[in-house]
Structure 1
Amino acid sequence: MLAHPATKYRPFAPIALTDRRWPNRTIDRAPIWMSADLRDGNQALFEPMDAERKLRFFRTLCAIGFKEIEIAFPAASQPEFDFVRQLIEQDMIPEGVTIGVLTQARPELIARTIEAVRGARRAIVHVYNATSPVFRDTVFGMDKAEVIALAVSAVSQVCELVAAAPETEWVLEYSPETFAATELDFALEVCDAVTAAWGATPQRKMILNLPTTVEVATPNVYADQIEWMHCHLARRDSVILSVHPHNDRGTAVASAELALMAGAERVEGCLFGNGERTGNVDLVTLALNLYTQGVASGLDFSDINAVARVAEECTRLPIHPRHPYVGDLVFTAFSGSHQDAIKKGFAAQAKDALWNVPYLPVDPADLGRSYDSVIRVNSQSGKGGVAYLLETHYGIVMPRRLQIEFAGVIQRHTEMHGGEVSAADVWRLFAATYLDAEAPVHLIEHHLFEQGSAQGVRLTISFHGQRQVISGEGNGPIDAAVNALRSIGINIQVRSFEERSVGGDSEARACAFIEVAGAGSGERFGVGLDTNIVTASLKALVSGVNRLGLMDTAEREQQAA
């Protein structure tokens, strides 16, 4: 039994605001977005990203539209320092994008941090020190005056160092770490001292970032804290008021939204809520929440699946299937009443009318999601446990997104033919959909070769009935085959690849699953079976290509019958 709260925990005292204004406000514009994925998000991983993954993630963030990206804690390690130098020295930072770096308020770390970002076109130097009572008393053994002196000394050092590097436009960001648990009058005293030390003016603004380093109260209390600071800062016109909500209570998105209503102008967070402990505010959810209220976020999530795949591959963290907006199952209705309401909503939805479909707060098409995935058969629905039957009878363990895709094939079959779906029916439909299609591309044979440090492949194919030999190079057989197909005008991207063994001992076969995307053709899976894993992978790639071009599954089902 849990201890009674009164015996162990102290409730957070409410803020005495007699004229709070934020409850009557609405959010009518997007904040300044700052991605902390490469810094806060990276330090929260079991295995931090290497330079290659960080660079891929950085380019994705730029493509989404982030103008401020905190890229590293360069004084923490040599790889972090080197990554910052790589971006600057190789001119990898797009015009209009500002990089940020974080440092504790310690002289040697500040010096190393400034050294890391020298030569950047524009850089945010983010300095922080903890201010709450438990950190002052228990962690650092400092009184209030010493905490203020530490913050002012750090900012003064930054001022001195950046003055010697005028080729860079320098922006100071200061965070009173653990702000949400700090006495408001003291937080104000620290922040005012820092803005004075920097010499903040309306023409040379600095960023004051007020984090919920640990959530200690309900989101409305945080909104009160932000509004109080917003109204009492000595140099409010010289400050960009920023928030950095964590998710210890599971309310980071709500805290960010109420903070924006209370006067915040900037939000720091991570894609899909990654970050220390329970995570940072989820910038995807926050941005798309604004979007569903008619507020343009300035961020491009029109291909949310592609963003999700990059995040999963770079962080090696899965996205929950019920994650808002992006989870593989969030646009899935298994309930019969939900299915009926959604179908009727789609039928009634006029093309240019405001979105008004039951159970769907956003049009899946706006996020690059397919309507085909909205209504599917549940394995518990009585129409057959599709994934279960394939696995138990044929040894095929489908990836989750393929389960969703193939369930739609089964549903259309049952709607056309009725009756119970047997294991043999499921296998016949699976083979007809993924294994047997041989047009417009049929793979005849392949040969691998080495080309310097690259892998090469020579494919003999039949393309629209004409035998051809094509070749390509890449970082592996699949990448090489993709490049070979491009030589005949087949332009695709591989979104995911998985391989599993089917059967055992001498009868074992490799089963490859490849998810491919084509311009204007959506995304489809291809599947390949063979005793050789490379052959299975190439068969899966060709299967995916053919499925992108053969969208009429019902016709193929009739042929299979």
Structure 2
Amino acid sequence: MAFDHRKYVAFKPVAKTNRRWPDRVITRAPNWCAVDLRDGNQALVKPMGVAQKQRLFELLVKLGFKEIEIGFPAASQPDFDFCRKLIEENRIPADVHIQVLTQARPELIERTYEALEGAQRAIVHVYNSTSTVQREQVFGLDREGIRDIAVNGARIVKAHAAKRPATEWTFQYSPESFTGTELDFAAEVLDAVSDVWRPDQGQRVIYNLPATVEMATPNVFADQIEWICDHIKYRDHLSISVHTHNDRGCGVAAAELAVMAGADRVEGTLMGNGERTGNMDLVTMAMNLYSQGVDPRLNLSGMAEITDVVEACTEIATHPRHPYAGELVFTAFSGSHQDAIRKCLALREDNDPWHVAYLPIDPRDLGRRYEEVVRINSQSGKGGVAYVLERDYNISLPRWLQIEFSKVVQREAETGGGEIDSRTIHRLFEERYLKVNPSWALKGYDLHRDADGVHAKVTFGLDEEPYHLEGRGLGAVEALAAAIEDTFKVSLAVEAYDEFALGEGTNANALACIRILIDGQHFSAAALAEDTTSGTLQALLSAVAQQVDANPVTAATSRADGISSH
């Protein structure tokens, strides 16, 4: 079959000249309704059992949802039984409204009220399809016929509620496939339902406007919502809700723009589970608001628990790049990203506004650790490697050594073809820079300063065969370097050396890093010691040992005789 775009017709935009929503910002979270237990459940290959539904219901309550759609009890015995279980076992908190869905058919509405018998408060969500394609091709009805279904359903819902005055009832109506319905007809149906329910007389009413199938760009949906808000009766006495799907990948964007356009309420599911490409993702939208300084009125700080429960109940794995919840969304492998994150975190004070490169929110707000932010692979650079050593081992490296060591780590990553963990990075650093040849291990030193500079006496090597060097220079490093040059007959220049005091939690108090040029070749080493002078002298000895013979006695003799040890 040919790939032919001509079979599709572009969605016509709403004819509006007075759009207000583009100039608005969201300053308050909408009312949320979680539909995981109904809409999300009916989209699963293997629907949830009662135990799974109960676990997910308890999570939704814990997160702060006050309206939770628990099922379609008239169409499913497990949903009916679950509804009865929640009510009879008194599992519904006093401030939570359960919501159930039913088609606008008399026998289904009656069965729905049987399932809700004894509930303290409940939302009866009734619907029928109003779209042009459904009217003409599915039901074969004209506008009047579709409107009559809605009105008749509204009357039956109201009549059954009147028989059960002990329950606090909320009526909700959805014109299914709202986005494919002519706006004037959608308003006509809603007004007809309002004339039955009379929200102006105190009945709590929600009109839920679903993008049952996402058919256009989010701005078109916002226009539709704003148009409805401007044209229906009793707008100030009822709640406008939206229920977007993700067929075009814009479910969250459409819901956000709809709130800007006047919607009071948003339905969706945790992680966006739903039919076809999914429902509007409640976690993403709520966290989007949070990232803008708006209280989402949900507590999503335990993101690991949320993903664990959702995965266990739905048997759907969370994508590692899922916004906010995915394993890798706060992880930087790129070298430049890692360097920027490291620098921003180093400058940030605890009470500062959050402005950190590449991190839209603080991972700690979701129970994530900074250990998860920077992870190393072959794409990583000096900043990420340095950050891991600082974070996990309190080791700070000078810039020149960051650059050099990152290449060591990169080669290891390229060889293994995967991620390098923190322990491996530390092992590589120890093996490459900190490992001390026993024949070149510092035993002690004696420094005397006089008018000519520093006179250094340095002892190193094995206990049974110690080696002694003496030299003069402006400082301890220059004095030892001069002694090495004279004894081993080499040309030695110290290109860089840096000393760092280490914080608590380490056996050593100082780290010294040195880079030398000896006989035209570069060598680098580092040393941990109790003091910076010991560390620097040991680092210099270790660097020299990489070029000179392993045994300093042999090396000194052979070089003195004019024989190179290499």
Alignment TM-score, normalising by the size of structure 1: 0.70
Secondary structure, counterpart of 2:199 in structure 1: coil
Percent identity between the two aligned chains: 55
Secondary structure of the residue aligned to 1:71 is strand
Counterpart among 386, 397, 411 of residue 425 in structure 2: 411
In structure 1, how many angstroms separate the alpha carbons of the residues matched to 2:287 and 2:173? 28
Distance, in Å, in 1 between the alignment partners of 2:206 and 2:254 is: 19
Whether the 8 Å contact between 1:412 and 1:554 is mirrored in structure 2 is no
1:342 paired to 2:356:
no
Partners of 1:15 and 1:225 within 8 A in 2: yes
Kept in 2: contact 1:104–1:128 (CA 8 A)? yes
Q: Is the Cα–Cα contact under 8 Å of residues 377 and 410 in structure 1 kept in the other structure?
A: no
Q: Which amino acid aligns with 1:366?
A: D
SS in 1 for 2:170: strand
Name the residue aligned to 1:127: 126
The residue aligned with 1:248 is 247
Q: CA RMSD in A?
A: 2.3
Q: Which residue of 1 aligns with 2:555?
A: none
Residue of structure 2 in register with 1:149 after alignment: 148
Cα distance change on mapping 1:411 and 1:278 into 2, 3 Å: same
Q: By how many angstroms is 1:204 displaced?
A: 2.2
- 1:143-164 CA-partner distances (Å, limit 9, x unpaired): 1000000000001001111111
Partner of 2:469: none
Please name the residue that 1:76 is paired with. Answer: 75
Q: How far did residue 357 of structure 1 move?
A: 0.4
Task: Note the C-alpha offset of 1:407.
Answer: 2.1
| Shift in Å, 1:202 | 6.2
How far did 1:108 drift? 1.0
Change (3 A) 1:105 1:69: same
Output one character per residue of 1:107-159: Cα deviation in whole Å (capped at 9) or x when no partner. Answer: 11111111101110000000010001110011111110000000000010011
Take 1:553 and 1:139, find their aligned partners in 2: how far apart are those partners? 74
Shift of 1:203: 2.9
CA contact (8 A) 2:335 2:379 kept: no
Query: Which protein has the larger Cα radius of gyration, Structure 1 or Structure 2?
Result: 2
Relative to structure 1, is the Cα distance of residues 376 and 108 closer, same or farther in structure 2, using a 3 angstrom cutoff?
Answer: same
Deviations 1:64-88 (A, max 9, x none): 0000000010011211100000000
Question: Alignment partner of 1:80: what SS?
Answer: helix
- Per the TM alignment, residue 200 of structure 1 is displaced from its structure 2 partner at its CA by 1.5
Equivalences for residues 362-511 of structure 1 within 5 A: 362-378=361-377, 382-385=410-413, 407-415=421-429, 417-418=431-432
Return the letter of the residue paired with 1:125.
V
How big is the shift at 1:205?
A: 2.6
Specify the code of the residue in structure 1 equivalent to 2:32.
W
User: How many angstroms apart in 2 are the aligned matches of 1:146 and 1:208?
Assistant: 20
Query: Which position in structure 2 is the counterpart of 1:163?
Result: 162
Match in the other structure for 1:531: none
Distance 1:131 1:418 in 2: 71
For 2:421, what is the secondary structure of its paired residue?
helix
Residue in structure 1 matched with residue 226 of structure 2 by the alignment: 227
Q: Which residue of 1 aligns with 2:183?
A: 184
Matched, 1:12 2:11: yes
CA contact (8 A) 1:210 1:244 kept: yes
- Structure 1 residue 59, shift from structure 2 partner: 0.3
The 3 A distance-change label for structure 1 pair 288 and 415 is farther
In structure 2, what residue type is equivalent to 1:371?
Y
Per-residue deviation, 1:416: 5.0
Structure 1 residues 364, 185: closer, same or farther in 2, change over 3 A?
same
What is the letter of the counterpart of residue 252 of structure 1?
A: G
User: Which residue type is aligned with residue 307 of structure 1?
Assistant: I
State the distance in 2 between where 1:202 and 1:388 align.
Answer: 71
What CA distance in whole angstroms lies between the structure 1 residues aligned with 2:201 and 2:426?
62
Match of 1:400? Answer: none
Task: Pick which of 373-382 and 134-143 moved more.
Answer: 373-382
Equivalence for 2:59: 60
Q: Matches of 2:242 and 2:37 in 1, distance apart?
A: 18
For 2:506 and 2:48, locate their aligned partners in 1 and report how far apart those are by CA, in whole Å. 40
Q: Unaligned 5+ residue runs, structure 2?
A: 381-409, 434-504, 509-527, 529-566
Q: Which amino acid aligns with 1:96?
A: D
The offset of 1:29, in angstroms, is 0.1
CA distance 1:554–1:107, shift in 2 (3 Å): farther
Aligned residue for 1:285, secondary structure, equals helix
What is the aligned partner in structure 1 of residue 296 from structure 2?
297
Does the 8 A contact of 2:333 with 2:379 survive in 1? Answer: no
Deviation of residue 383 (structure 1)? 4.9
SS in 1 for 2:209: strand
How far apart are the structure 2 equivalents of 1:369 and 1:155?
47
One-letter code aligned to 1:57: L
Q: What is the CA deviation profile of residues 497-539 of structure 1, one whole-angstrom value per residue up to 9, with x for unaligned ones?
A: xxxxxxxxxxxxxxxxxxxxxxxxxxxxxxxxxxxxxxxxxxx
Mapping of residues 233-382 of structure 1, within 5 Å: 233-378=232-377, 382=410
Aligned equivalents of 2:178 and 2:411: distance in 1?
Answer: 55
The question of whether the paired residues in 2 share the 8 Å contact of 1:373 and 1:408 is answered with: no
SS at match of 2:207: strand
**How far 1:2 sits from its partner (Å)?**
5.8
Q: Secondary structure at the match of 2:58?
A: helix
Aligned to 1:488: none
- SS across alignment from 1:201: helix
Distance in 2, matches of 1:387 and 1:257, equals 46
Matches of 1:553 and 1:209, distance apart in 2? 61
Q: CA deviation at 1:378?
A: 1.8
In 2, distance between residues paired with 1:140 and 1:263?
32
Structure 1 pair 410–215 and aligned structure 2 pair: CA distance change class (3 A): same
Provide closer, same or farther for how the CA distance between residues 415 and 119 of structure 1 changes in structure 2, counting only shifts above 3 A: farther
